[in-house]
Every structure is written in structure tokens, then in C-alpha cells.
Structure 1
Amino acid sequence: METFASFRVGGQRVYGMVHLPEPDLNGIPRPAHGFPGVVILHGFTGDRSGDHRLLPLLSRHLADRGIASLRFDFRGSGESEGDFSEMTVSREVEDAVAGFGYFKDLPEIDPKRAMLLGFSMGGLVAALSAPKVNPHRLALWAPALPELWLRMLPGGHLPPAIMDQGGWPIGREFLLEMTRLDPLKAAGQYRGQARVFHGDADTAVPIEMGMRYAQALGCDTIAIPGGTHTFDSLETTEMLYKVTGEFLLGN
């Protein structure tokens, strides 16, 4: 079952989609204390659909295996309220914490098995959010590090106000904050089960970044052979869904 979700952060409305397993249709036992579930965080300039429907198809894959999920658009992205020029990682962490609280309070969800998954910059946000929400499990897809955005600075200097990045208005505060963020330190403070998934052909966010996250988390890195940053082949997407689902189910 798929239903629209909405919650407020800082007076602005955030929109998303909740996916719930349907035991009567796929033969999955109905848990006595609610379904395990995962909150999914999209990447930079992305939205809750992701490239080539990567995230809704993940949610449906998981629902068929008994795992609920929430996908939402960060403020300033997709259909959520706010302007992209206001976007900072700290604001996205606020959205992630609020979304996680909204999700685990749903009557269909087992709050003790609420999990977190972040893709690309969403992985950075997930790492910073994990010590705050203490998810049952933490999955990072191709997680990025701040140094990727610091390379955007013209001549190494901050722009006076808004920088036009391919039509996206990047605010000065977003770049200024990147110099202060330490997602690896935050990852090291998380004490739950974690796993990093990274395509070995990722040129946007090199797999070495995923390995640094895994080292901080004390967990494994699962390399997806031939996987690009957005896992843009049927074979790599299928493998990514399979190993992610197995991890979230505790296999």
C-alpha cells in the first residue's frame, strides 16, 4: 500500500510517500509489533524519485519483502516547500530527524526496527543524523564527503551570495557550512549495525569515499561491480536492491 505523507519542519511542509507491505497479497506474515521500515534520503539536487525511478522501485522491492519505507523530498527539493537556495546540510539533517520521527510513530511501524538509508549527499546527511535518531540499521549508498562541494568554489573563494550551478541556486551558507562538517566523526558515534554500498565504477563519488565511511562505522563496504554513481544499468540496480534488502532484513 502506498500513501502520501506530509509533515512540517520549521513551518514548511515536507511531502513524501509511505510504502507499506501488504501481507494479504504477498503472503508476508503480519508482525505483531509492526513492520520494520526504513527512511530513504535522496541526494544533492535530487528528489524522492531518484534517477531512473531508483528510489520508488527500491521502496516497492522492499515492501514485497516485508519492509516499509518513507521517501520524501527535502525542503527546497521536489514538491516540498522552501527554496533550494536556502538548502544546507544542517537543514536536511533537520528534515531527516523530523521524517524519522514521523515514520516511526506510524501505527504500522515497529519503532524499534526503524532504519535509515541515505544516497550520495543523502548518505552524508544520514551519517550526521544517525547519532541523533539511533536507527536500528544504517545503510549508505555511495555516500559523499564535503570535499566534493568545496571543489566547486571558484578560485577557492566563497561566492558573495548565490552561485548558479547548472540552474540550481547554491547559497553561500551551504558552501560555508561544508567547511565545518565532519560526517566521518558523526559516523563513528553511531553504535548500530551499518553497511556501505558503492558502485566500483562511480566517478562522481569515488568508492574510496564509501570505504572511508565504512572505516569510521566499523562495517563492510559492498562493491557493486560495474556500478556507476546512480547504478544506471538493470544488472547493477538489481544487485543493489538485493544486497540492501538482505542487510535491512538482518541477513
Structure 2
Amino acid sequence: MSFFCCRNQVDLFSRITVLICHGFVGSRIGVDRLFVKAARDMAAHGFNVVRFDYAGCGESEGEYGAGGMDALLRQTRDVLEHVRNMESGAPGKLILLGHSLGGAVSLLTAARDSRVDGLVLWAPVLRPFEDIVRIVGEESYREALQYGQTDHRGYVLRDTFFQSLRGYEPLREAKRFTGDVLLLHGNRDEVIPVDSVFHYERELRLRQTGRCETEVIVRGDHTFSAHDAYQRLISRTTAWLAQQAGNETVAV
């Protein structure tokens, strides 16, 4: 299986490399070019950024959801390994930036892989099974149960994909990650309720190691499409990344 990746490289020895993990049936481009803009803005602040398409999304091969949640985690680790190989000898930190379902995948990956130094979670899914069923709709989910698959926005989603989500509860695994975390969520998110971010915050603040910072973005929808919401999202993110790099000169 091959994945389509795009890299905004500033400095081979940059102290920060960000790997962007897109959400459910998304792509490395993002709604309203969210990830394109974010990658360019982060690169402008001196951070290396890598974007990729999960299997079956964007320009990557394969079928989305084949192999279930396990496959999404495996693909994330594969790209992480690829990034680490590209960064061979570089001393920088590797940060996973996950949006929506990509947020849950990023957290689960970080909880299992010590190569991840930090997490930025934008509007992260809290309960993968419940959240994805709500997004596709109960009728479509029942269709998958009855016929083995359903169509969602042109993607064939199999019953096995939905059932695979049941076995993962990122909230329960949050304490296993010992790095710093930045949580950002829009107050107008109608896809993943903003209350989700407070559940994550509570669990992450109970850890003995690792800091957690949280902000609710005013006028932010699920993809932070409003101009001022996006500007706050990216300014908060770049400031946090600068702190991780040991350079706190970026204004919040």
C-alpha cells in the first residue's frame, strides 16, 4: 500500500516536525483547504510539516476503512516511520496534529508509540463508534448492519469498519501519553460537540507527566472555516509549537 504525502520543509534540522492526520473520509487538503493553509502557515514559522492521505482518501490507493481502526493506526505508524527515516540524525521533536477522527487516531498512536513527542488535537472525536455513527446517520448504519455495507458520500463503508471502532476508547488511553497536548475546539462545532474537549482535558490533566492546554475557539465550526476562527486556531497552534521548540517568541 502506498500513501500520498506532501511536505512543507523549512529546515532539515528544524526542532519541530508536524505530521497532520486528517479526519473521517477526509484528505490531506482538508475542507476549505484547512490543512494546506495550516501547513503553509506553520512552515512560515519555521516548522516542518508533513500531510498525507489515508488509504482510499485523496490520492492514496486502497479502500477507506478496509482493515478498520487498526488499519488507520497502522497507516499512521507507517507514515511516522517514513518521517523519522527522512529526519534521520535530526534532533527535532515529532508532533502529531489530528483533526476529528484523526485526533482520536493521533492520540491512540501516541499512547502506543514513544516516538511521538507531542499532540495537537483539533476538534477530536471522543467516542469513535458513537461519533461516526452519528455522522453517517442511524439509517446508513442500519443499512451496513443489514447488507454488510453502506454508501457515505461515495465511500463504501462496511459493517466491519463500524464494528472495529467499538474496540477503541481514546479517552481511556489518554493517560498513557506522557507528552504535552494542545486541545482546540470550536464553540459552534455541530459535528463533534464542544463538550468532548473538556472530557479530554480532565483526563489529560490527571497525568503526572505532560502538560495540557485547552482553548475553545469563538465562532469555530468543525473545520474552523470562519476567517477569525482559523486565524485564532493557527496562531494558538504555532505559539504552542514554538514553546515545544524552546522558542516562545510567537505571539498568541
| TM-score, length of structure 2 as denominator length | 0.85
Counterparts of 1:38-57 in structure 2, within 5 Å, are 38-57=18-37
Structure 1 gaps of 5+ residues are 1-11, 23-30
**Percentage of identical aligned residues:** 28
CA contact (8 A) 1:104 1:111 kept: no
- CA deviation string 1:189-229 (max 9, x = no partner): 10100011000111111111122122222223211001000
1:142 matched residue in structure 2? 123
- Between the aligned partners of 2:140 and 2:80, the Cα distance in structure 1 is 38
The letter for the 1-side match of 2:9 is L
**Match runs of 1:165-184 below 5 Å:** 165-184=152-171
Tell me which amino acid in the other structure corresponds to 1:16.
C
Structure 1 counterpart SS, 2:181: strand
CA distance in 2, matches of 1:84, 1:114: 26
Q: Point out the structure with the larger helix share.
A: 2
Equivalent position of 2:172 in the other structure: 185
Q: For residues 85 and 117 of structure 1, do their structure 2 counterparts lie closer, same or farther at Cα, with a shift above 3 Å needed? A: closer
Do the aligned partners of 1:19 and 1:59 also contact (CA within 8 Å) in 2? Answer: yes
Indicate conservation of the 8 Å contact 2:14/2:92, yes or no: no
* Alpha carbons of structure 1 residues 42 and 159: separation in structure 2 relative to 1, 3 Å: farther
Alignment-derived partner of residue 232 in structure 2: 239
Aligned position for 1:75: 55
- In the alignment, residue 148 of structure 1 is paired with which amino acid? D
Amino acid at match of 1:149: I
Question: How far does residue 184 in structure 1 lie from its aligned partner after superposition?
Answer: 0.9
Structure 2: how far apart are the matches of 1:52 and 1:150?
24
Q: Any conservation in 1 of the 2:140–2:150 contact (CA below 8 Å)?
A: no
Q: Which moved more, 1:145-154 or 1:117-126?
A: 145-154
Residue 108 and residue 209 in structure 1: after superposition, are their counterparts in 2 closer, same or farther (change >3 A)? same
Report matched runs for 1:67-146 at 5 Å. Answer: 67-84=47-64, 86=66, 88-107=68-87, 110=90, 112-134=92-114, 135-144=116-125, 145-146=127-128
On the 8 A contact 2:141/2:150 being kept in 1, the answer is no
Please tell me whether the aligned partners of residues 35 and 108 of structure 1 are also in contact (alpha carbons under 8 angstroms). no
Q: Which residue of 2 aligns with 1:28?
A: none
Q: 2:151 aligns with which of 154, 164, 171?
A: 164
Total equivalences in the alignment: 231
Give the 3-state SS of the residue equivalent to 1:84 in structure 2: coil
CA distance in 2, matches of 1:243, 1:94: 29
Which segments of structure 1 move beyond 3 Å, counting only runs of 4 or more?
Answer: 107-112, 150-157
Paired residues of 2:14 and 2:48 also in contact (CA < 8 A) = no
Say if 1:65 and 1:101 are closer, same or farther in 2 by CA, change over 3 A: same
- Runs of at least 5 residues in structure 2 that lack an aligned partner in the other structure: 206-211
1:200 partnered with 2:187: yes
Instruction: Report the Cα offset of residue 150 of structure 1.
Output: 3.5
CA distance in 1, matches of 2:50, 2:200: 23
Partner Cα separation in structure 2 for residue 176 and residue 127 of structure 1: 20
Write out aligned runs for 1:224-235 (5 A). Answer: 224-235=217-228
Report the RMSD for the aligned CA atoms in angstroms: 2.0
CA distance in 1, matches of 2:68, 2:140: 21
2:10 corresponds, among 12, 21, 24, to 21
* Higher share in strand: 1
- Alignment partner of 2:192: what SS? coil
TM-score scaled by length of structure 1: 0.85
Deviation of residue 87 (structure 1)? Answer: 5.7
Greater shift after overlay, 125-134 or 106-115? 106-115
